[in-house]
Chain A
């Protein structure tokens, strides 16, 4: 059996090779062929999930909801470290000092990341802005979102904090955060599908002990994590309950 593995498209482009290295490590450790498919959009990945083409996934919190509640996936591990947070950015020369300064007609740039966009929309609510009185510019990557602002083609942009902080000083110089979320409750998680049920314990043990070898630790560090931590099923159910409130 070949395991189909995928990673939420929310990771930075420079980590593509690191995920392939992770895949090779996992393949050797489990002694089974693993096919890593990195989809270039959330829509493409969701279509693959719907077609049952995913057995193992490093999922963003919104996809985790779908996979756990509707597809019978189980959460097995998450990276140690801060949870996922989002930021609403603007140009340094923007007259807006806080969210409530934004006016109807605001042009916003965003990717197709459902997690970032949902939280970004929530962060706009204090200004009474929603999709009826803003103009959305969808872009394929986070850096394209930043470019929209730098060119003056958008007034604000939605980004994951990690992506914003990962921009070069040259890009960040002309951008600033209007507000940063402090949700503390949503995270990316590794999920296994029902087809891998028999190997879940083995896979979990492998991931949770990954940091104990030099090789494993090096791979994790390249992916931005010191080690992986166990996830209780109820913790994920609670996260999903919270996420279900965010699009209301």
Chain B
């Protein structure tokens, strides 16, 4: 995965280096700007069994700040925000690979360095008894739930 391009960043940014499962790293730039969740919409995407994006809806594209062509074929962790603890994604991955649904509050990183909060549910796509991919559906969270998740994730990161 490519590093974020500083030219895409809007506002004052802080640089982080994310390390993913498998040891790959990515340089990201993060601003404090939050994009409000669009009322009434669902953000939907699908990945293959390796977490590579195969499909996303217009709300997903709008909120991510990327173009659809930049998203399809990329790992879903393109949207990982450094404030999200690695343990949350480990739990997500283990849960859905075991064939169960995962849900939780997630802070996603936009192409422009900003972020947006979602309540996400991820389900395995089971066809003829086999997991062939995963569907993720996000909806608008309440501010109270976001504040609670923020505090919890901060504690998990130990900062």
Contacts and interface: CB of A to CB of B under 8 A. Distances in A.
B127 A126 contact: no
B125 A125 contact: no
A128 B144 contact: yes
Nearest to A178: B39
Nearest to B58: A184
16 contacts: A98-B39, A122-B139, A125-B140, A126-B140, A127-B142, A128-B145, A180-B40, A182-B42, A183-B42, A184-B42, A238-B135, A242-B42, A244-B123, A245-B101, A245-B137, A248-B101
Contacts of A238: 46, 125, 135
Nearest to A177: B40
Contacts of B57: 184-185
A128 B139 CA distance: 13
Nearest to B120: A245
Given A126-B140, A248-B103, A242 B44 contact: yes
B98 to A, nearest CB: 16
A123 interface: yes
Contacts of A123: 40
Given A185-B44, A245-B123, A125 B139 contact: yes
B49 to A, nearest CB: 14
A117 B139 CA distance: 16
Nearest to A246: B137
Contact of B121 (A98, A127, A183, A248): A248
What 7 A-B pairs have minimum CB-CB distances, sorted nearest first? A245-B121, A128-B142, A245-B137, A241-B135, A182-B41, A126-B140, A248-B121
Contacts of A122: 139
B141 interface: yes
B124 to A, nearest CB: 8
B68 to A, nearest CB: 15
B119 A125 contact: yes
A180 B46 CA distance: 24
A179 B141 contact: no
Contacts of A180: 40
Nearest to A181: B40
Interface string A221-248: 0000000000000000110011011101
A183 B57 CA distance: 10
A182 B140 CA distance: 12
Interface in B58-107: 58-59, 101, 103
Contacts of B37: 126
Nearest to B124: A241
Contacts of B123: 241, 244-245
A135 interface: no
A145 B123 CA distance: 33
Interface in A132-177: none
A183 B41 contact: yes
A66 interface: no
A99 interface: yes
A98 B142 CA distance: 13
A128 B119 CA distance: 12
Contacts of A242: 42, 44, 135, 137
Contacts of B127: 237
B39 A179 contact: yes
A185 B42 contact: yes
Nearest to B134: A241
B118 to A, nearest CB: 11
A100 to B, nearest CB: 8
Interface string A197-225: 00000000000000000000000000000
Nearest to B133: A241
Contacts of B44: 185, 242
Contacts of A182: 38, 40-42, 59
Given A183-B42, A244-B101, A245-B123, A126 B135 contact: no
